[in-house]
A and B are shown apart, each in its own frame.
Chain A
Amino acid sequence: MKPETLLWAGVGTYFTVIGVTYMLVGGEPIGVALLLMATAIGGLIAGWAWDWGRKHGTRAEDRNDADVTDVQGVVGVYSTASLRPITMAIGVTAIVLGLALGSWMTIGGVAIVASQALLLVYDADT
């Protein structure tokens, strides 16, 4: 994870530099806040990558001389179909659209999202 950590740390550093520069040359606070927020997002990924690397050590993916045989077995479990994404999307759409059309719609949307989130728990059969 070292290259990933460095990559995102670099991104975070860039935004710190540009954010502080912008502040020093007299930039308005909105832009300063947004640039520093960008630092935080870059830092978030960098921090996560660093922590993961610390806990799990070097991966085969980090080595130049790795081959598929170094990581045999199951890569992960990937569902091929699920009804939840579309129903959740309907629910979220209803919640947001309800802001414009009326609270009954938002309430309905919340109900859909809640029920589908619950069903998602049982949706692990891939």
Chain B
Amino acid sequence: MTALDPDRSAEPLGGVDHDQLVSVDDVLAGGDDGGDDGSGGDEHGGHDEGLPKTITGWLTTTDHKALGIAYAITSLIFLAIGGSLAGVIRAELAEPGEQFVSEQLYNGVFTIHGSVMVYLFAVPFGFALANYLVPLQIGAPDLAFPRLNAFSYWLYVFGGLIMLLGFAADGGAAAFGWFAYPPLSGAGASPGLGADMWIVAIILTGTSGTLTAINVIATITMLRAPGMTLFRMPIMTWNLLVTSFMVLLAFPVLSGALFMLQLDRLFGFRFYDPTDGGSPILWQHLFWFFGHPEVYIVALPFFGVVTEIFPVFARRPVFGYKGLVLATLTIGALSTSVWAHHMFVTGEVLVVFFALTSALIAVPTGVKVFNWIGSMWGGSISFEAPMKFSIGFLVTFVAGGVTGVILASPTLDYHLSDSYFVVAHFHYVMGGTVIFALFAAIYFWWPKVTGKKLSERLATWQFWLLMIGFNTTFFFMHFLGRDGMPRRVPDYAPVDNFELWNRIASFGYLILVASVVPFVIAIVKSFRAPVTEGADPWEANSLEWATSSPPPEHNFDWLPPIRSERPVFDLRWINHDEVGNPDVAEAWVDREGIADNWRPLAAELAGDPPTTTEGDQP
């Protein structure tokens, strides 16, 4: 774990000559004034952002940024739907006994709540990030296969619609839980079209995910800008690369398992039928071989998000870059070797093997946590919205992580499995952390996507409502589970503390709902606001900030030299040898040989137009 580049440690700079700092806006504008920040924004406001203007345009677009935005909006709609379904669950559980919905409907509601959140919200939002950011962060004009990308998006949309339409089917939506254990999910115990539609929906979204993963891996392998070696890629891109590989391993297994289930249901096959030689355990192995990597498929892109954000707002490089990459790879590898810890209580798996691999995964995860803290350590931290949400993520994630270690012990899992303790655990690691990091991402990249910042004041309101609401809802579920409340029940024993904790959780849900209001207001206000931000509003590090906001079609008219994982930082400090990467200045000198090159060194700002070398169109 030695530094890739020479040690760039430097003492704090007391007397930085700010006129010597180079801003991307000035470079993009042709550099007619020397290094004065923030003057470039409005000059770029009117340029063609390349997003479709018509409905037909959106339906046929293959542009990675348009599809990234479409993925984000679609998955947020599914978040709203999944969140509303959670409201039904919390309303029913606010009191013991059955009040609002029938058992059948309740079972359908929690099944679709889980399925929507896992398959239609969390994973696709990761793909939204991959779509929008991967080409920008590696200096590519688009994903490698733009039409395949659009195809993936539409498969996902149609899959999602089919799942929701299940509620309209005869007999209601699928009601066998999001992991659909046979024989319960078989034709005998779950007849009806809703179940078939659920299977079809997951097959479609799973296929969509597989294709996107191939696309991302191909893009990262083949379309990096010169100078962007593997170990100069932002951690975000690294995480999306590892995520994509895990998708490639996991999703086809799920699709295959679902096809087998469908064959069982419709054509009388007996893969999972215990009465005739089939094996329900087969499904569990196949499902969790998908299902556990899935947890990290959900989480890793969001780990990437905060790894981008902490250094920017602490004005530090990401601490232990190589260690982080190694940790990400280790998580990816281990996460495909722990699947049967979901099956400890079946008594039919090697508990010791899986207890070991499951416990080990805490180590690289802990390394990440300490690297995030290390990225802030010694920094100069400011607390704009992205940073607030990232710290919210960090705290929530640690709380969910330590309960994960508890559940990795079969001794304890025998009591806690399938209880509300597990519900609390995975809402911390897959719910809370995802939501916090998701809003961190939205607040962080919103200026890049729109050229406008979102309201800080509203973000603060949203942050605190979310923090309080989330913990009020989910923290006491730990107690419920330890006390013996099983998951997936519409009713519970009228024991005093069951009633108390459930009522508190249902109240917390209302706070969570309230936290959405400031966000919606902030978005609406932003749509009415003029474009004010330049290319690099946060003084960030990675390559997406080296193009205008919003980026033009095919992303880059110009690229800075890439000599570290922080090309934009290196550009900003190019006139300060003691901070800037000396290789970058050297690269500028090399560029001078090119006729129309332009050099941002303050003394020589000449006003020539920037070079156009990347992403050209025929």
- Which A residues are closer than 8 A to B by beta carbons? 1, 3-4, 7, 10-11, 14-15, 18, 22, 25-28, 30-31, 34-35, 37-38, 41-42, 45, 49, 60-86, 88-90, 92-93, 96-97, 99-101, 120, 123
Contact = CB atoms under 8 A, between A and B. Distances in A.
Nearest to A14: B333
A4 B200 contact: no
Interface stretch (B58-66, B107-115, B483-491): B58-66
B615 A27 contact: no
Nearest to A59: B226
Contacts of A70: 226
Contacts of B204: 92-93, 96
Given A18-B337, A74-B616, A67 B253 contact: no
A65 B285 contact: no
A93 B333 contact: no
Given A45-B217, A74-B616, A88-B151, A11 B333 contact: yes
B259 to A, nearest CB: 9
A100 B140 contact: no
A99 B154 contact: no
Contact of B158 (A69, A71, A76, A93): A93
B614 A75 contact: yes
Interface stretch (B12-20, B499-507, B586-594): B586-594
Chain A binding site: helix, strand, loop or mixed by DSSP? helix
B142 interface: yes
Q: Which 7 A-B pairs have CB atoms at the shortest separation, nearest pair first?
A: A89-B154, A85-B150, A100-B196, A66-B226, A60-B226, A85-B151, A30-B285
A119 to B, nearest CB: 12
B439 interface: no
B63 A80 contact: yes
A37 B62 CA distance: 32
B84 interface: no
Nearest to A72: B613
Contacts of B199: 100
User: What is the predominant secondary structure among interface residues of chain B facing chain A?
Assistant: helix
B287 to A, nearest CB: 11
B34 interface: no
A95 B511 CA distance: 43
A93 B162 contact: yes
Interface of B: 50, 52, 57, 59-63, 139-142, 144, 146-151, 153-155, 157-159, 162, 193, 196-197, 199-200, 203-204, 207, 217, 221, 223-231, 245, 248-249, 253, 262, 266, 282, 285-286, 289, 329, 332-333, 336-337, 339-340, 349-350, 353, 553-554, 559, 561-563, 583, 587, 590-591, 594, 611, 613-618
B228 A61 contact: yes
Contacts of B228: 61
Nearest to B284: A30
Contact of A81 (B61, B262, B350, B559): B61
Contact of A69 (B224, B329, B594): B594
19 contacts: A22-B350, A27-B353, A45-B217, A61-B227, A64-B229, A64-B563, A67-B587, A68-B227, A76-B141, A78-B146, A85-B60, A85-B153, A85-B154, A89-B157, A89-B158, A93-B155, A93-B159, A99-B200, A100-B196
Given A38-B336, A99-B200, 6 more contacts: A73-B616, A82-B60, A85-B148, A85-B153, A96-B200, A99-B262
A30 B587 contact: no
A68 B225 contact: yes
B203 A96 contact: yes
A75 B141 contact: yes
Contacts of A25: 350, 353
A17 to B, nearest CB: 10
A53 B144 CA distance: 18
A78 B285 contact: no
Contacts of A72: 613
B62 to A, nearest CB: 5
B226 A61 contact: yes
Contact of A79 (B146, B229, B245, B614): B146
A28 B231 CA distance: 38
A100 B193 contact: yes
Given A14-B333, A80-B61, A61 B224 contact: yes
A34 B338 CA distance: 12
Nearest to A22: B353
B221 A3 contact: no
A45 B226 CA distance: 21
Contacts of A66: 226-227
Contacts of A35: 336-337
Contacts of B193: 100-101
Contacts of B332: 11
A116 B364 CA distance: 46
Contacts of A42: 245
A123 B153 CA distance: 19
Contacts of B337: 18, 22, 35
Nearest to B593: A69
Given A41-B249, A100-B193, A78 B150 contact: no
Contacts of A92: 155, 204, 207
A82 B197 contact: no
B221 A31 contact: no
Contacts of A10: 329
B613 A69 contact: yes
A86 B200 contact: no
